[in-house]
Amino acid sequence: MMIESGTRSRAILEKAEELCFCNHQISIADANPVQLHECLAEAVVHELSGAWNRSRRNHDRGRHAGYLSAEFLIGKLVYSNLYNLGVLREVRALLAEKGVDLACMEDIEDASLGNGGLGRLAACFLDSAATHGIPLDGYGLRYRYGLFKQTFENGEQVEGADDWLRDGDPWSCRRYGEAVRVVMADQTVIAVPYDMPVIGYGTDNVGTLRLWQSESEHPLDFAAYNRQDYVTSMRDKNLAESITSVLYPDDSTWEGKRLRLKQQYFLCSATMQDLLRRHRRAGDRTVLDFAKYHALQLNDTHPVLAIPELIRLLMQEGLEFERAFQVTRSTFSYTNHTVLGEALERWDMNLIESVCPETAQIIRRIDERARGRMESHGIYGDMLYNMQILDGNTVHMARLAVYTSSTINGVAAIHTEILKRDVFRDWYAVYPERFQNKTNGITQRRWLGLCNAELSDLIRRTIGTGFLTDLSRLGELKHAIDDRLVQDFRAVKRIKKEQLAQWIEKHEGVSLSPDSVFDVQIKRLHEYKRQLMNAFSIMDIYLSMKRGELRDMPNTTFIFGAKAASSYARAKAIIRYINRMAELINHDPDIAGRIRVVFVQNYNCSYAERIIPAADISEQISPAGLEASGTGNMKLMLNGAVTLGTLDGANVEIAEEAGAENNYIFGMTVDDIDRVRGSYDPKGIYDGNESLRRIVDTLIDGTVPTDDGLRELHSSLLYSAGWSRADNYYVLLDYPAYREAKLRAIYDWADSAAFGRKCLWNIASAGKFSSDRTVQEYARDIWKL
């Protein structure tokens, strides 16, 4: 039973006031943002204690699902939790009466315990499962520092520590009583769980996100301390804590790789021990029943060691290897999130043995079993070679996952087809029944209701509130689209642009016109995502304007947000190029603001929540076949941006749902690329196309200040070097079609009635892309809940 929201908001506020007084001896009106955040969060957790306790017991009692992931990109929780509880507006009003502005917490750090879509997807799934009463809990790591904090100095990315715990972590409950020991070859640590409540929308179901923190068994060596050897006295503590200190530590050295592997093993061992313990505690069950009660989803390969680890633990409980294997295979399912070869994890067996030798032995046994089965299936030669889990001394984690899971899924229809046809072709031939597609989704609570209250209100006034828990209801908008609705939509868009412009002015020092087209590319920085192609098109538009062309092009603002992995030199060079180009364009008096470029710093969840509602054009421009799904594309669509995209990932389904005529689809298809791959000659294209050459050369000709990195980028487009092929991501091939489609989108925007209709049609067609739908499919087809 939901408590009436008025009662609940007052209860939360009273509790927060009491906490302010007890913890800080101040009234809530005098609390600073950190204190307010702490007290409000604790008040919410207090309010939900009973419901959380009941939900946890229910999850333990029946069949339940666990989502194992190295990343949970949960972002800021305070607003979304109040939103899901249905008290955001009331709490804001009650606080305002006391002279407190709820917005003051906007500078509280995001919990950036993730890198991009993979981590955000995990967070969306938890939200959707809690909302729909699906018993799903998350298991991850409590990194002391999340993904780095990004600033720009002279256009260059500078990384700083993301000290997200500085202001406390009032959403987590430390449960030391449920800690487990993780034993590794050279180190034993304690895994301490921190539980966060996952609050569903309009329900009292509360899921749990359990994040493990690594601590020492002997945090202080007293003898050393008394000898004044302070470094030695803390050695064990520091070594233990280093396991969960940062997300994706540099792994270019052996020690770096070892640390990453320790992180993975730590997550897997702690989680499997915990689940087995809870399984036993639940009474009349044996370990043979484990798979009856637990469905575990592997979010990519980072948690794949959970497979041999569970087998090891089951064998400790007395099961034979074969029995343990069967139970384990029935328990796990694996989601693949990328086809990029370099992202498919492979570990050296010696490395695994140096961290967890017993688990390594289990991997050898799994490999032997697999070989035996292959032979009995009549698999030899190349096919056997391509399927080896243990290839020489290399363990292929994805193959291990595929062999030892009951289902394997891709994250968009086209991606799943590529897995079947290409990445896991041989596996698909042997086990076709295991392969499934589960197209990604996003939670409309955070990505519409919360981040775009204005649009959400407009939709509510038009078709009611049902869409907040059943996004397919958006389809009803189709019948309601008329001039009036288009006008109202444009008014909302204008407000969101103003809000974003103010924020960007304040945080980036760049002023933008809310009357311009907002063209947006926000995602991790990677060559395959082709931010460089976008940049080239802007440079092209700029140079055309300088020549007096494109006179009637609507004023346009190009917005980028992205972090580049700290060791990824080319990605960082692309950032420098874009920032230098922005410098040039934004200060050119000839251009007089007709186009503007801004690359926002420290793009994260909260920034996304500001940019997405303001976007007109959504750039989704990877070469076909490489973006597994994309989820930013869905968020932008839901907020009424048109997609400027290739037929890649979920763009394919977006175009199917909303109609190609309401979007700007361009470029090579997967089949086209397959055909040209062998004979692709970017240097030939460059030599034969003078205007394109002029653009590409701005990397090196002094149009913007150049450097070795930009020169390397330039030659990477034209010349192969070792394993790296020239223009590996077909920028030059797709460029002409991209330029044409982009200009068409920008020009079309000027016809506000027609463009507004396209935007609304996209919103009305976004129903499929809710994570509610995705999680319900997982629950039905994979977890069998």
Sites of contact with ligand NBG (CB under 6 A): 116-118, 121, 300, 337-338, 343, 411, 440, 627-631, 649
For ligand NBG, which residue has the nearest CB?
117
Catalytic residue among 631, 646, 698, 774: 631
**What is each CA distance from 525 to 522, 529, 570, 728, in whole angstroms?**
9, 7, 10, 16
Q: Which is nearer to ligand NBG, 171 or 332 (CB)?
A: 332
State the minimum distance, in angstroms, from the CB of residue 782 to ligand NBG.
Answer: 15
Catalytic residue among 37, 144, 258, 337: 337
Q: Which is nearer to ligand NBG, 116 or 207 (CB)?
A: 116
Residue 258, both tokens:
């070892």
Name residue, tokens 């098109």: 537
State the minimum distance, in angstroms, from the CB of residue 666 to ligand NBG.
Answer: 19
Q: Which is nearer to ligand NBG, 162 or 648 (CB)?
A: 648
Contacts (Cβ under 8 Å, ≥6 apart) of 435 = 407, 408, 409, 416, 419, 420, 424, 428
State the minimum distance, in angstroms, from the CB of residue 410 to ligand NBG.
Answer: 9
Catalytic residue among 493, 563, 635, 758: 635
Q: Which is nearer to ligand NBG, 215 or 417 (CB)?
A: 417
Q: Return the ∠ at Cα 245 (arms to 239 and 248), rounded to 5°.
A: 115
The enclosing H or E element of 80 equals helix 78-84
State the minimum distance, in angstroms, from the CB of residue 405 to ligand NBG.
Answer: 17
CA–CA distance, 567 with 260 (Å, rounded to integer): 15
Q: Which is nearer to ligand NBG, 131 or 620 (CB)?
A: 620
Name residue, tokens 């750090």: 109
State the minimum distance, in angstroms, from the CB of residue 676 to ligand NBG.
Answer: 23
Asked if 631 is an active-site residue, the reply is yes
Rg (CA), the chain: 27
State the minimum distance, in angstroms, from the CB of residue 521 to ligand NBG.
Answer: 14
Phi first, then psi: give them for residue 143, nearest 5 degrees. Answer: -70, 135
Contact 176, 164 (CB under 8 A): no
Asked if 784 is an active-site residue, the reply is no
Asked if 227 is an active-site residue, the reply is no
Catalytic residue among 37, 329, 497, 524: 524
Residue 342 burial class via C-beta count within 10 angstroms: exposed 0-12, middle 13-18, buried 19 and up: exposed
Longest dimension (CA), the chain: 81
Count CB neighbours of 62 within 10 A. Answer: 11
State the minimum distance, in angstroms, from the CB of residue 635 to ligand NBG.
Answer: 11
Catalytic residue among 523, 563, 570, 596: 523
State the minimum distance, in angstroms, from the CB of residue 630 to ligand NBG.
Answer: 5
Q: Which is nearer to ligand NBG, 260 or 493 (CB)?
A: 260
The four Cα atoms 715, 719, 720, 724 give a dihedral, to 10 degrees, of: 30
Q: Which is nearer to ligand NBG, 141 or 366 (CB)?
A: 141
- Within 437-512, residue ranges assigned H as helices are 444, 453-463, 483-508
Q: Which is nearer to ligand NBG, 138 or 649 (CB)?
A: 649
Task: Give the 3-state secondary structure of residue 528.
Answer: helix
**What is each CA distance from 415 to 436, 563, 678, in whole angstroms?**
11, 24, 22
Q: Return the ∠ at Cα 447 (arms to 760 and 33), rounded to 5°.
A: 135
Asked if 635 is an active-site residue, the reply is yes
**What is each CA distance from 689 to 108, 318, 430, 695, in whole angstroms?**
50, 70, 47, 10
State the minimum distance, in angstroms, from the CB of residue 634 to ligand NBG.
Answer: 9
CA–CA distance, 307 with 355 (Å, rounded to integer): 16
**What is each CA distance from 529 to 81, 564, 575, in whole angstroms?**
32, 12, 13
Q: Which is nearer to ligand NBG, 114 or 170 (CB)?
A: 114
| The dihedral sign for the CA sequence 245, 251, 252, 256 | positive
Catalytic residue among 260, 434, 529, 610: 529
Q: Which is nearer to ligand NBG, 116 or 303 (CB)?
A: 116
State the minimum distance, in angstroms, from the CB of residue 170 to ligand NBG.
Answer: 29
Residue 759, both tokens:
């935007």
Catalytic amino acids?
A: 337, 523-524, 529, 631, 635
